[in-house]
A and B are shown apart, each in its own frame.
Chain A
Amino acid sequence: MTAIPLPAKLQSTELRTHVSVRETVSQSLTMAFRALLRLRRTPEQWFDVVLQPIIFTPMFAFIFGGAIAGGVEAYLPMLIPGILVQTVVTTSIVTGTTLREDMEKGVFDRFRTMPIARIAPLAGALLTDSIRYAIATALTFLMGWIVGWRPEGGWALLLAALLVIFTAWALSWVWALLGVLARTAGAVQGIGLMILFPLTFLSNAYVPIDTLPEWLGVFAEWNPISHLVTATRELANAGTVGTEFWVTLAGAAVIVAVFAPLTVRAYMRKA
């Protein structure tokens, strides 16, 4: 170790009392950049968003296609939006688990002693996750195309993708709150799956609701996941912006309105 190049300044620059919005944005982007750097060393973290669409999309198409719709081709307009919603929504739990893990790491202590916006690590995490959702969405559409899905929504396909990504992003606030409050990442994962597994399967994602027993049909009818699935189907397959689209969008907005302040408050208390 040689001489440290350190003419220590006693603040040549002005001392600041707060972080500007521009700095906050730039710091959040840096946090997302860090997540991408981590991804290079731990690609297994992204297996869910990459492998799930690649493996499950054709698998479900070939297994259920004949039974449910009388053929793979006929099943695809129903399946692809359904499996897209399930994949992306389920992967939103990762926001909570990684946040929990991150907050326990030593590096988080360093962030807390740096003159940065305290919200930056959280914002960075939410930003990174949107990238994950976009990857899962693109891959699901691609796999659908490969097995023969030919959606007629045109430009609305993009809107469908955005709707799913936005809803998952809204949900990630819920998991982020859980991540801040829970003791372990495993707990976040467990609780998240316990909620989402029934929600995604007891919906119209894979089967038409009229094939369900009546009580289950009622549940599936009301299930918010069904609304998202229907909205996505309408957009992707026909290019229609229907009621379901607005219902879903409003629902997601309500989630953000409720959980974002809660999460930020809980997070600021701990961070």
Chain B
Amino acid sequence: MSDTKSEWAIEADGLVKTFGSNRAVDGVDLRVKPGTVYGVLGPNGAGKTTTISMLATLLRPDGGSARIFGHDVVHEQHVIRQLIGVTGQYASVDEKISGIENLIVFGRLLGLSHKAAKRKGEELLEAFDLADAAKRPVDKYSGGMRRRLDLASSLIAQPPLIFLDEPTTGLDPRTRGQMWDVIRGLVTSGSTVLLTTQYLDEADQLASRIAVIDRGHVVAEGTADDLKGLVGTASLLLRLADPEQTEAAVTSIHQVLGSTATVTPEAARLTAPMSDPERVTDLLIRLREQGIRLTEMSVQKPTLDEVFLTITGHGASTDDAEASDDAKEKVSA
């Protein structure tokens, strides 16, 4: 690790990227420790892909700076490219040629001989359960297979830092679990992984630290437990028999659980953060005393939406049209 000038795998300070009047990334700071998985969590349009693109030398930042293992992403692009592997949100492999041919081409480009590239490719296909499909053209692969090939392609050079942009979006639960295992394996073998996701659960499972980003801002940063602490460990979901009683129910929740419930009026549904399950008993007794009848009750683990609601005061909306100044105010508020 002689050339590792920095204690950080990634250091980003005030990264900005604007597209026209849209500040897609608006002052993002990140610190990622080597040998860890770092999760970037955010809804559609939050700026996750744009952030990764700047860190991976695909886009030039309009403001701020970033270093990968101490190397500047703007001025030392060629060095950065030797340190990273990128698995983009959309498959970045050649669809018209087979899996093994893709890996041979990438291996050759990285300076391996044809034979070494082929060997490395076969090894990776084997490790990713793609050996049977090695000779099939990629456009005949399923979504999960493509994702795996994509990840395998990023690992040929054994880069110390790997970017994974929504690696499990669109995968079935089983394949998702496999992908998680792969990611854990990467870290065990010493790599650093930065992954983006829309699922708190996924960040929770994999990442040692998480940055929540919204409309180009980091709105919260910390361990999964830190974040969950912000929203309560879980939330209580209630459906009322009589929508008229909504207000009374909200008041009771506030008094008993000490948290503010969100209301979905059409469905007469209430969601309230809940940190101590013991208190739920108290709440249910209180509701019965008040004659508020429930048609449904369940407990939900925190979702991204609640993290957002709690942190930003607005839901994890995918509407990017709203001015980002708006979001800034809410964060600092």
Q: Answer yes or no: are A and B bound together in one complex.
A: yes
Q: Which residues of A does B touch, CB under 8 Å?
A: 1-11, 14-19, 23, 26-27, 30-31, 33-34, 37-38, 40-42, 105-116, 120
- C-alpha gap A37/B100 in the complex (Å): 11
Are B97 and A16 in contact, CB atoms less than 8 angstroms apart? no
27 A-B contacts, Cβ less than 8 Å apart?
Answer: A1-B127, A1-B181, A4-B127, A4-B128, A4-B189, A6-B155, A6-B186, A6-B190, A6-B191, A7-B190, A8-B191, A9-B160, A15-B79, A26-B108, A27-B109, A34-B94, A37-B97, A40-B97, A106-B88, A106-B93, A107-B93, A107-B94, A110-B153, A111-B109, A113-B86, A114-B110, A115-B157
Q: Tell me whether A19 and B94 are in contact in the complex, defined as CB-CB below 8 angstroms, given that A2-B127, A37-B101 are known contacts.
A: no
Neighbour of B189 across the interface among A6, A105, A113, CB < 8 A: A6
Are A8 and B189 in contact, CB atoms less than 8 angstroms apart? yes
**Residues 61-99 (chain B) with a chain A CB within 8 angstroms:** 69, 71, 76, 78-79, 81-86, 88, 90-97
Are A1 and B182 in contact, CB atoms less than 8 angstroms apart? yes
Are A113 and B148 in contact, CB atoms less than 8 angstroms apart? no
Number of B residues with CB within 8 Å of any CB on chain A: 57
Are B88 and A109 in contact, CB atoms less than 8 angstroms apart? yes
Are A106 and B158 in contact, CB atoms less than 8 angstroms apart? no
Neighbour of B3 across the interface among A15, A30, A108, CB < 8 A: A15
- C-alpha gap A6/B151 in the complex (Å): 13
Chain B 116-131 per-residue mask, 1 if CB under 8 angstroms from chain A, else 0: 0000000110111100
Are B158 and A8 in contact, CB atoms less than 8 angstroms apart? yes
Chain B 30-70 per-residue mask, 1 if CB under 8 angstroms from chain A, else 0: 00001000000000000000000000111000000000010
Neighbour of B58 across the interface among A27, A107, A112, A115, CB < 8 A: A112
Apart from the given pairs A37-B97, A108-B92, 8 other A-B contacts in the complex at a CB distance below 8 Å: A1-B128, A1-B129, A10-B69, A34-B101, A41-B137, A110-B92, A110-B93, A113-B84
Q: Across the interface, which residues of B come within 8 angstroms of A7, CB to CB?
A: 158, 189-190
- C-alpha gap A41/B127 in the complex (Å): 26
Closest 6 CB pairs of A and B: A110-B92, A115-B81, A106-B92, A8-B190, A8-B191, A30-B108
- C-alpha gap A22/B111 in the complex (Å): 11
A40 CB to nearest B CB, Å: 8
Interface centre among B91, B97, B155, B178 (most CB of A within 10 A): B97
B170 touches A (CB below 8 Å): no
B229 touches A (CB below 8 Å): no
Are A30 and B158 in contact, CB atoms less than 8 angstroms apart? no
Q: Across the interface, which residues of B come within 8 angstroms of A120, CB to CB?
A: 109
Are B190 and A10 in contact, CB atoms less than 8 angstroms apart? yes
Closest A-chain residue to B153, C-beta based? Answer: A110
Closest B-chain residue to A12, C-beta based? Answer: B158
Q: Which residues of B does A touch, CB under 8 Å?
A: 1, 3-4, 34, 56-58, 69, 71, 76, 78-79, 81-86, 88, 90-97, 101-102, 105-106, 108-111, 123-124, 126-129, 137, 148, 153, 155, 157-160, 178, 181-182, 185-186, 189-191
Q: Across the interface, which residues of B come within 8 angstroms of A105, CB to CB?
A: 94-95
A233 CB to nearest B CB, Å: 39
Closest B-chain residue to A110, C-beta based? Answer: B92
Q: Across the interface, which residues of A come within 8 angstroms of B105, CB to CB?
A: 30, 33-34, 37
Q: Across the interface, which residues of B come within 8 angstroms of A34, CB to CB?
A: 94, 97, 101, 105
Q: Across the interface, which residues of B come within 8 angstroms of A113, CB to CB?
A: 56-58, 81, 84-86
- C-alpha gap A41/B95 in the complex (Å): 10
Are B81 and A6 in contact, CB atoms less than 8 angstroms apart? no
Q: Across the interface, which residues of B come within 8 angstroms of A27, CB to CB?
A: 108-109
Closest A-chain residue to B163, C-beta based? Answer: A113
Q: Across the interface, which residues of A come within 8 angstroms of B110, CB to CB?
A: 114-116
Q: Tell me whether A41 and B129 are in contact in the complex, defined as CB-CB below 8 angstroms, given that A4-B185, A106-B88, A110-B106 are known contacts.
A: no
Closest A-chain residue to B185, C-beta based? Answer: A4
Q: Tell me whether A11 and B82 are in contact in the complex, defined as CB-CB below 8 angstroms, given that A30-B105, A112-B58 are known contacts.
A: yes
Neighbour of B96 across the interface among A26, A38, A110, A111, CB < 8 A: A38
Q: Across the interface, which residues of A come within 8 angstroms of B189, CB to CB?
A: 4, 6-8
Closest A-chain residue to B191, C-beta based? Answer: A8
- C-alpha gap A1/B181 in the complex (Å): 8
Q: Across the interface, which residues of A come within 8 angstroms of B185, CB to CB?
A: 3-4, 6
Q: Across the interface, which residues of B come within 8 angstroms of A9, CB to CB?
A: 158, 160
B170 CB to nearest A CB, Å: 15
- C-alpha gap A15/B79 in the complex (Å): 6
- C-alpha gap A41/B137 in the complex (Å): 8
Q: Tell me whether A106 and B78 are in contact in the complex, defined as CB-CB below 8 angstroms, given that A1-B129, A41-B137 are known contacts.
A: no
Q: Tell me whether A109 and B58 are in contact in the complex, defined as CB-CB below 8 angstroms, given that A7-B190, A41-B137 are known contacts.
A: yes
Q: Tell me whether A8 and B160 are in contact in the complex, defined as CB-CB below 8 angstroms, given that A106-B91, A113-B56, A115-B78 are known contacts.
A: yes
Q: Tell me whether A114 and B92 are in contact in the complex, defined as CB-CB below 8 angstroms, given that A7-B158, A10-B160, A15-B3 are known contacts.
A: no
Are B94 and A16 in contact, CB atoms less than 8 angstroms apart? no
Are A41 and B1 in contact, CB atoms less than 8 angstroms apart? no
